[in-house]
């Protein structure tokens, strides 16, 4: 076997093919970028991971419950009592009619404007910002408002009138910004068609049902358009996480209208 030696008698190793060096370089750069991306957007990815774990636990718990249905709850219409049946024994916990009826009829609304998204466990303040004809001033006010919650876009019409009540929030933001609202919409992509969203605005409660989910580019400003023949809620955030490349849009209609539409379709 011939040896590859230089003039000093030192054995030289054969150089790797160029494509291997390029592949190694690309994989290294991709790995560094991926690691830094996760670190910079840690809050958002932590929420996603927690949501996935919770979802998996609920599925497992439901499966176990289906296999061993040991506990059942039966409401008696007269006493509003709960009957807990466990392994053949029955225990009744009576709830007084008067107390229950009073509590059931109470309207407990937040003192401020808020949006509640049950699917992802979010209850966030709604921030109103002034309108501007100057785009830079408007953008600055929106970014400032996002430090205090999610922002009601100035083009919005109020929930009790026909039009588009438009809300935008961060899915992620710079980790060195100390606002606690930097990733309130990080889980917005987990919200699905049919989910309910609650809006509390000026002392009133509005319930919406998600009807559509879509991804658009930043220049598709038609999502801000105002329909004159119906009420609409629009939620918007940046996607994918940690970028401003596109916008995730969720469109919802009032629950009573969504229910009526489903009845008509059936």
Q: How many other CB atoms sit within 10 Å of the CB of residue 193?
A: 12
pLDDT of residue 8: 61
pTM across the whole model: 0.71
pLDDT of residue 82: 41
pLDDT of residue 17: 83
Chain segment 187-230, per-residue pLDDT in tens: 999 999 999 999 999 999 999 999 999 999 999 999 999 999 99
pLDDT of residue 218: 93
Please say whether the beta carbons of 194 and 238 come within 8 A: no
Structure-token pair, residue 31: 């790995």
Contacts of 151 (CB under 8 A, 6+ apart): 126, 127, 128, 129, 142, 145, 167, 168, 169
Instruction: Give Rg (Cα) of the chain.
Output: 27
Tell which residue, 199, 243, 197, 180, has the closest CA to residue 217: 243
Q: Where are the domains of the chain?
A: 70-105, 107-265
Determine whether domain 107-265 maps to CATH 1.20.120.720. Answer: no
* Residue count of the chain: 266
- Of the CA atoms within 13 Å of residue 79, those in its CB half-sphere come to 8
Contacts of 40 (CB under 8 A, 6+ apart): 174, 175, 242
User: In the chain, which stretches have pLDDT less than 50?
Assistant: 1, 71-96, 100, 103-104, 263, 265-266
């Amino acid at each position: 076997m011939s040896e590859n030696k230089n003039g000093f008698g030192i054995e030289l190793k054969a150089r790797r093919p160029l494509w291997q060096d390029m592949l190694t370089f690309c994989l290294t750069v991709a790995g560094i970028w991926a690691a830094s991306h996760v670190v910079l957007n840690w809050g958002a990815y932590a929420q996603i991971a927690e949501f996935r774990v919770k979802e998996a636990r609920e599925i497992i718990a439901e499966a176990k419950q289906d296999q061993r249905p040991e506990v059942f709850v039966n409401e008696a219409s007269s006493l509003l009592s709960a009957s807990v049946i466990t392994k053949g024994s029955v225990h009744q916990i009576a709830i007084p009619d008067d107390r229950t009826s009073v509590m059931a009829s109470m309207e407990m609304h937040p003192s401020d404007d808020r949006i509640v998204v049950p699917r992802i466990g979010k209850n966030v303040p709604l921030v109103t910002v002034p309108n501007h004809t100057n785009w830079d001033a408007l953008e600055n006010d929106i970014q400032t408002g996002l430090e205090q919650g999610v922002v009601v876009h100035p083009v919005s019409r109020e929930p009790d009138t026909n039009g588009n009540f438009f809300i935008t929030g961060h899915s992620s933001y710079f980790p060195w910004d100390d606002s606690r609202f930097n990733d309130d919409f990080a889980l917005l992509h987990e919200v699905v068609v049919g989910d309910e969203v609650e809006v509390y605005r000026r002392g009133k409660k509005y319930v919406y049902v998600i009807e559509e989910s879509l991804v658009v580019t930043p220049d598709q400003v038609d999502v801000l358009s105002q329909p004159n023949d119906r009420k609409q809620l629009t939620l918007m955030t940046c996607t994918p996480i940690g970028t401003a490349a596109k916008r995730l849009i969720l469109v919802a209609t009032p629950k009573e209208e969504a229910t009526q539409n489903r009845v008509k379709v059936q």
